[in-house]
Chain A
Amino acid sequence: MDTDLLRLFEDSLARFNRERYSPAQLVARSRETTGTGLLSEMADMGWFELLRGEADDEPAASSVVRLLPVFRAAGEGAWREPLACVLGAPAVIAARTDATAQRESLVEGLISASAPLAYAAREADDGWHRIGITTVARGDAGGHVLDGHKIAVMDVASCAAIIVLAVDAQTRRPGYFLVARDAAGLERGDASSIDGHGLSDLKLTGVRAEYLCAGDHAARAEAWDAILGAAEAVGIMRGANRDTSAYLRERRQFGRPLLDFQVLQHRLVEMHLLERETDALLESTAEAFDANAPGLERRLLVLRAQASRALRQVTREAVQMHGGMGVTQETRVSHYYRRALMLDGLHGSEEAALERLAAA
């Protein structure tokens, strides 16, 4: 995208946040169960068209760089929509589905937001690693049948179907399978997450599934997701920094604005530095990802560690500097704080990334 187009695009995202995601609107939305929220409105703006390949022969979900502005805006606005079910890992898998007709229909369902997809990869003991997948796929005459358990599947109730990572009973090779949301033999333990998303554990007993593609795409799909998560983190930091500066300028104690106190200024400065550094690292990592540059695995861990640390510090500080207001439902930073915890849960904490970096 050239810079003028990018500017226009960012302006329209910013306008959306002003008009559709003001703090008051956020509070109102946070009282509702998420559902698909404003997803179709977002699709109507054409934002999800960004999933399409730029050239005819380029598959969908090839460029993560193009999606960064959307996820920054999502972070800043504290969107509650199941955005990752449209633009995240499911998009990567859908776009790499072997069968042409199915691939096209899945991708169109995402771009139009008419058929978001849930992503079920994680199992109880693997943390952020996808090793030792125990969900098993058996081929039979009509296709495949799955048995196993998945945890922490986001927003299933808002999705048309679920993408499940499972290993082939015979070859032990991992593959991705599509399961209908209401398939027979699928038991769902539904809860809601700390930031208001649907969160389910799945038990699959003889569930019919369609094979999509090889599990080799898992690393790419989850790296894609993690980069978008870092973009969301940058957006949250931008919002938290802006909200906190504005609040301290406005809030008066001891006869002056709190922003007059130098200790607070310095901490705000630190928060801005963290935002800037993380954004720069995000851009360079996303470009390296799109270009399939060497050393990607390490770069991704570096990004994860930085995004996690920066976001946790910024959201902690934002809450603290808001005083009691910082933990109220009506203040956006309390939503930022919860989302920050969730992003760590989805993509891994700083500690987890550091441990893998140190071991590598």
Chain B
Amino acid sequence: MGASGLEIDDRLDHGEKIDDPAVERAAAAASFDASAFRQEVRRFCRECMPADIAAMASKNQYFDREQRVRWQRLLADTGWFTAHWPRAHGGQDWGHLQRLILIEELERAGTPWIAHFGVSFIGPVLIEFGSPEQQQHYLPGVINSDTWWAQGFSEPGAGSDLGSLATRAVREAGGYRVNGQKTWTTMAQWADMMFCLVRTEQTQRRSDGISMLLIDLKSPGVTVRPIETYDACHHVNEVFLEDVFVPAENLVGTEGQGWAMARFIVERERLLVTEIGRAHRFLHELHALAAKVCDGGKPVSQSPSFRRRAAQLEVRYQALRATVYAAAIAADEGRHHPVDPSLLKIRGSELQQEILDAVIELIERSGLAYQSTALFGDIDGGSRGGAHIPGLIFDHLHSRLTSIYGGSNEIQRGIIAKALLQV
């Protein structure tokens, strides 16, 4: 076993089957070879990642829209980008397991994060709930990344309590008049379209009156304003909707179905929020840093207390990895466990936070220099212990968000309590 104990890398390159027997069996049942596929994705990342993107990935830098789109198109060319969609819509009917392997490997290689809003969220929603016209109109733009989508769920008054959302859509000739405000809208500054939860009716049960509209962000009355966050990087926004006209054909499904669609998104996508590949990448960073950073003249990697802490993190990583694979296999076999999505969200975010806490403790002794420009490759952090340091500081700060967005860890624990204890 290597110094890091994360030996999974090396053996694969010698052609060994590195996945657990249960994973290999489940893969075989789905007619693919887990290790061979993993190998193929690794080769793709090594050989096909454009040089500028690879250079930025090695420094943990922040990709712009153009780079993300370019990468997504390369993935689309392989057919992997939408492979989890049904064949009838340009997919390959992949199950959760194969998608998990793909995403894990992409994350481990540090490739640009796939913007899930299109390919994982609205695409599958339109396939499940949308009209044939909507499918024809919007799915090609998702597949080739021509359309950038944003998710308009949260509002200033509706965070954890999404059901209390107050953005109103009032019917008028040919469509709806929408008024309200969305917030925390990720990458809305790049977006062309936003799938948006709105209230079309005041109902007894609040969630019954919620519908989903597709809003063109170039419509008159839409204002996107950046939210300044502590990482000095613009990624979230407020979206103001003032008398915005939305054509009737942009309603997805029927009025009142919005809540079901929101749940559909959340339940299908929780395997991915585990971000097990990112955790692996950060563990590697931790070990690499510890070998370089010295304390009292000796590399930190030689300190018994550091080694013990790293070992603890490895245990947590392996436990979570086993759990997410088990959950994927179970889901593919139709044995979906109701608490799995919440479990994976909680543990995935906590693990990232713990690893990046250890990372920041290695970096902080040289002063925590942080300029967001360094995230975009403008300056070289050479004298500050390496050009990849600002990116790691960003990742540390960002890790705090992982237990807040997409339903906070407190909310996830509440969901588990309800399901498990039937309270």
Contact = CB atoms under 8 A, between A and B. Distances in A.
A320 B400 contact: yes
Contacts of B365: 122, 127-128, 152, 345, 348
A66 interface: no
Contacts of B393: 194
Contact of A127 (B157, B183, B296): B296
A342 B363 CA distance: 10
Contacts of A349: 361, 364
A131 B298 CA distance: 11
A132 B297 contact: yes
9 contacts: A128-B365, A151-B367, A152-B366, A253-B164, A324-B184, A324-B401, A329-B228, A341-B360, A349-B361
A31 B235 CA distance: 19
Closest CB pairs A-B (n = 5): A345-B364, A127-B295, A152-B367, A191-B369, A125-B294
Contacts of B231: 327
Interface stretch (B43-51, B86-94, B319-327, B402-410): B402-410
Contacts of A192: 369-371
A193 interface: yes
B92 to A, nearest CB: 36
B294 A127 contact: yes
B102 to A, nearest CB: 29
| Of listed A126, A327, A351, residue having the most chain B CB within 10 A | A327
Contact of B403 (A253, A263, A320): A320
A195 B230 CA distance: 9
B269 to A, nearest CB: 19
A58 B306 CA distance: 43
Interface string B164-207: 10000000000000000001100000000000000000000000
A88 to B, nearest CB: 15
A254 B368 contact: no
Nearest to B227: A328
A151 B366 contact: yes
Given A131-B296, A131-B297, 5 more contacts: A154-B367, A191-B371, A329-B230, A341-B364, A344-B364
B368 A193 contact: yes
Nearest to B358: A351
A199 interface: yes
A147 interface: no
Contact of B384 (A132, A191, A312): A191
Given A327-B230, A327-B401, A129 B295 contact: yes
Contacts of A201: 383-384
A352 B236 CA distance: 36
Contacts of B366: 124, 151-152, 345
Nearest to B363: A345
B159 interface: yes
B412 to A, nearest CB: 12
B158 to A, nearest CB: 8
Interface string A226-269: 00000000000000000000000000111100000101100000
Given A152-B366, A189-B383, A327 B397 contact: yes
A25 B133 CA distance: 52
Interface in A92-118: none
Interface in A147-164: 151-152, 154
B58 interface: no
Contact of B160 (A154, A253, A358): A253
A308 B155 CA distance: 35
Interface in B288-307: 293-297, 303, 305-306
Given A128-B295, A191-B384, A323 B368 contact: no
B161 interface: yes
A338 interface: yes
Contacts of A131: 296-297
Interface string B345-357: 0000000000001
Given A126-B294, A128-B295, A334-B230, A326 B404 contact: yes
A351 B365 CA distance: 12
B116 interface: no
Interface string B12-50: 000000000000000000000000000000000000000
A328 B156 CA distance: 13
Contacts of B159: 253, 323-324
Contacts of B268: none
B309 A263 contact: no
Given A152-B365, A201-B384, A323 B305 contact: no
Contacts of B368: 193-195, 199, 341-342, 345
